[in-house]
Amino acid sequence: MNKHRSHFSVFLGCLLAVLTLNASAIELPDIGDSSGTTITPEKERQLGAAFFRSLQGHGAILEDLETQEYLQSIGRKLVLYSDDAGKNFTFFPIAAIAINAFAAPGGFIGVNAGLILNTETESELAGVLAHEISHVTQRHMARSFERAEQLSMPMAVALIGSLLLGVASPDAGLAAMTAVTAGNVQGQINFTRANEQEADRVGMALLSRAEFDPEGMPSFFERLHIANRLTDPKFLPEFLRTHPVTTSRIADSKNRLAEYPPHDHKNSDAYLLTKARIEVIAAKSPGQAVKIFKTALQEGDLGDADNATHYGYALALTGVGKYEKARKELQQLLREDEENVSYLLALADLETRAGNFKKGLRVYRRLNSLFPGYRPVVMAFTKALLRFGQVKQAKALLLDYGIKHGTDRIYYELLSEAEGRDGNTFEAHLALAEYHYLSGETEQAYNQLKIAERSGNLDYYHKQRLLARLEQMEKEMEEEKELQK
């Protein structure tokens, strides 16, 4: 997680430099000016996707696939009960311990690992997501970019970044925001009080319909507010800067609870296990993670987090190479829940790390049978197959997944390796190009396509497929060069 933060700080510095050079030269959109062209849903999605690629390429996103899938599952459940049930939202964790969450154009919603750790119930986490979903469905973000159609894609992405980049480094995020003040967009940094009240109202209704506890939203905001009311403003959580919480707003939310039936929502195993996994990742060292969970187990009185604490302890023990102790923890958990996907994934990872190839692959095959098409299983199984030289099986597994499910940068990275080791140079370079593109590295992606073009005799289909992708990337590279000027 520290590596992610350092990489992202470099990105923030680069963004700050770009904005400082360009803010005075480019007319940026004003908030609330309805005379401009309202940003279209298609443009919104393009902007959000480009911003998401930038985050991925600079190590901002927490690449724990189980956490990603958990957030996406909770988000999807909430969206089903929203005003935009058919809208394509993307929920993702940010690898930062600062407390923050944000909604970018096009339904891209990021939640910091630190915020997840600071929630006490699943309904609190769902409350944050419902609040951010409501900002999207009520078009609060879109209204902030009414003239975004006039900006090139790189400049629009830079503008979005300047408004949201407290995600990894609050100080750098504020510096980036200061840089764009000269462009008269300071008012875009925070949602208005009316926006926040509307997001609270719509979000709480959403929580109730999705059968979470509506109190999760005001209770989390209240704890943050109380914990930080005596804090120096510059040390406030970024979430409180971009979503100002007042005592009157909390009181309004609590009064509104009378409108909803009570929901005694229990924390799901997935929520508790996700928090344990993030705790391991966020620890300063694998050894510290072991101490954290060992101490928690010794102190006892863990309530519904007992199994999750043993699970976290097993992950931490695996991280320091104490495989036998970790195996005993996982075997005990599996005796109580023999088909738990997180326990089985942890066991498969343990066995492969310990060099027990056959045992590890046996667990992965069982997982693939129990949870076909589940992304964390498919990607982990593919990595194990490639590691143990079973290239054709790995490739077949990926291609089948790609036909039935959405693809991402991890998929293309593994596919490139599988195709290359299977002797298919053209497809290997195409897959590597997509990996670089989804990492926000358009020029590297373009170079891979040019290498693919020289890889041998191509039939008509492959030539047309290649030329179309080259043309698209050339256009984006031209826009990026204009921004650099």
Whose CA is closest to 124, among 226, 214, 256, 244?
214
Verify whether residue 200 is a known catalytic residue.
yes
What span, in angstroms and rounded, lies between the C-alpha atoms of 155 and 313?
Answer: 45
Helix (H, G, I), strand (E, B) or coil at 124: helix
Closest among 167, 153, 172 to 106, alpha carbons compared: 153
Strand segments (E) across 419-473:
none
**132 labelled catalytic:** yes
Residue 388 has φ and ψ, to the nearest 5°, of: -95, 15
Separation in Å, CA 83 to CA 49, 87, 102, 386: 22, 9, 19, 44
* Residue that has been written with the tokens 């170079």 in this structure: 447
Nearest of 172, 158, 138 to residue 8 by alpha carbon: 172
Of the residues 200, 238, 329, 441, only one is catalytic, namely 200
Number of H helices and E strands in the chain, helices first, is: 24, 3
From 132, 215, 329, 349, the catalytic residue = 132
Give the start-end residues of each E strand in 154-263. none
CB 280 within 8 A of CB 242: no
Q: Which residues are identified as catalytic?
A: 132, 200
